[in-house]
Structure 1
Amino acid sequence: MGSQWEVETIAVTTHALSLSLFLYSMAGKSPEEEHPVESFGWAAKDPSGVLSPFKFSRRATGDEDVRFKVLYCGICHSDLHCIKNEWGFSTYPLVPGHEIVGTVTEVGDKVTKFSIGDRVGVGCMVGSCRTCQNCSNDLENYCSKTVATYSGTDYDGTTTYGGYSNEMVANEHFVVKFPASMPLDSGAPLLCAGITVYSPLKYYGLTKPGNKKFKNKKSKTIADELLTCHHHCVTPGTELGVVGLGGLGHLAVKFAKAFGVKVTVISASPGKKEDAVRRLGADSFLISSDADHMQAAMASMDGIVDTVSAVHPIMPLVGLLKSHGKLVMVGAPDRPLELPVFPLIVGRKLIGGSGIGGMKETQEMIDFAAENNIAADIEVIPMDYVNTAMDRLQKGDVRYRREPSTCVVAVTDFKLGGKLPSVQPLLFAA
């Protein structure tokens, strides 16, 4: 017979084992059992940011899940930051991509909004608490427990993988339906870049159309109509500035013009004027490096959407605002910007920010874009070109197709028969 110490040790060990088994049974299946579906994609393995073929697993389709074959995935500048861990929260291996589109292959038993064959997309988030004040107000993007589409921690404790892959699975609440008239390839960037500029235009009240004619029903003569028109025929509408003409900026111009807003593009590059005015339909163009240009436009704008992610002075932009004007930051410089307080006080001006949008608003944005023929200007590349594309983004060479306002979309239809090759595959459009 063992000593009392041995008996107590055995009792403690047995209790710990029983407790572990109990907790395991309460927790349900292990992550390995919950993620039995073999998938493949392209992943960064370390902060070098080099992407290479990567085999991983996704969860089985749950009752409320939508699984879809990924056909295209936009390449966002934030992907570049994340694969290099420049923001400090990347988890490796990291499969990037949060502008993901494709066709539904399977739906869970409780899914009500989607069917097999539907054209769908997933943006920057795949989960949230669904109970907080933000979530209750359709602002899941501001939930403190939002689950990022990649390099995030899902509610089962596993790491999320993004859209540089052959398939995607997500809760139907975080899946967006694409209308038949919306091209999947050029629609993909709307899931990040599109909603990033659409949401602040709506929230900050920068969508008021101008130049609307109102016929006076009481007018009996042309003279009466002209007299009334002097006061009521034309409304000023929103005078909007858009800083930068990249992936975000060109979509901001398109959405603003669809709302009927007068748009001025503000850029340091004079060569972008033709692209801004003739192709995108901006009403005017300001060269931010030209002091005379900027001075002539002082106090002329109701709002400005600043899409530039490089460090730049904002004092001149505040000067462009009318009293009560709003400067909205949607670009994310990696260093603090100098804040001019006095002009804000004397003009009651506002500097604010905005980050993507909630799921209800994202669906609204996609529907609005389809109705108004809005899509991103894109270059479609094969997936095995992605490292070259990242290098070009790093160097600031984003003038794909020699157009300054083009997004990049990778074809992710691997056509590999379910097997990951030892060499980079050449990908083809479906």
Structure 2
Amino acid sequence: MTDDLLSRHRAVLPDWLALYYDRPLEITHGEGRHVWDAQGNRYLDFFGGILTTMTAHALPEVTKAVTEQAGRIIHSSTLYLNRPMVDLAERIAKLSGIPDARVFFTTSGTEANDTALLLATAHRRSNTVLAMRNSYHGRSFSAVGVTGNRGWSPTSLSPLQTLYVHGGVRTRGPFANLDDYDFVAACVDDLKDLLGHSRPPAALIAEPIQGVGGFTSPPDGLYAAFREVLHERGVLWISDEVQTGWGRTGEHFWGWQAHARSGPPDMLTFAKGIGNGMSIGGVVARAEIMNCLDSHSISTFGGTQITMAAGLANLTYLLEHDLQGNARRVGGLLIERLRAAAAHVPAVREVRGRGLMIGIELTRPGTDEADPAAASAVLEAAREGGLLIGKGGGHDTSALRIAPPLSLNVAEAEEGAAILEDALRSIQ
């Protein structure tokens, strides 16, 4: 019984461990772009375990790779040579665009960002870090310390001195009324002013599209403009690709490529989708940065054989089936369909995103005041209609997040859009 499971959950797990829905959902199995709950209800999945089921549920190629690897060896740690880890590292290093790249595997995006911050601060001998307002980088002590989204930052204590920069949210804040060119120029001026009042930072860490923040993003080219300023001062650029990586945006394989005028970042972090549900994260960095640590280190579970087998099979499937192109095509249709539906709903302030990474921001009609109650109501109504979506946003969680597996087809996109349209209309 789900009610019994909920009671047991509440008895042994933390109060702050968030659960969706007034009647929380137990997902028992999935296939393709669909999942089923413990009562046998079937749902179209437009959130993929928080963007983690990247290709499809129960993808046969990944399931087979995991099963075969489990029959050989599951784990040995990084103290021993590991062929699947080397194989996947070689492919990711080449795909990253970073010259002379080295790859370090972790078990999550939080740990990947934590590692990137360790590398940057050690390399630069500085604990000052630049981050974006409304950002989210994980739940570890250092990752929380650079998170600019108040709803996901439970403490102000931190081992880092973090300075927050404008630019991650295009349609809010003091520069929202400017055109794209002047918006970028104003954000760059703000960055230069900030650097003039601080000790030399180690790095800027930034999500090309802010995930938990509600799928917000700056104009293309902002981080390239930032990088030119940072490069002059030796400050590193870390691109947090935990949610934007692997072709989800459709137009690019990595989010940083929308800002490619100045070349690749010094480091990028990844996680979520690469394992299609298996726990894989990691950092890619230039060798001089990755190798700057002057003490020994290992990873007990990062790069373990079974997760690497999953990652290799998943990445192969994604590339061979051009899921980036599918995200561009089907995502383009979906966002236009949602914009047409939202045009008749006064509570929708903005439909934004690219590829299969789409946000719908809800406010009280006629204002810019966030309406988290409306977002929760739409989430519930979508579930009742057979669709699972997510929530986020920097203004009291008032944005809906839509991020289906990248193999979503046109018929499923139309079905999900129709359910979501009905859910949006239900709050009027």
Q: TM-score range by the shorter chain?
A: 0.3 to 0.5
Q: Which has the higher strand share?
A: 1
**TM-score of the two chains, using structure 1 as the length reference:** 0.34
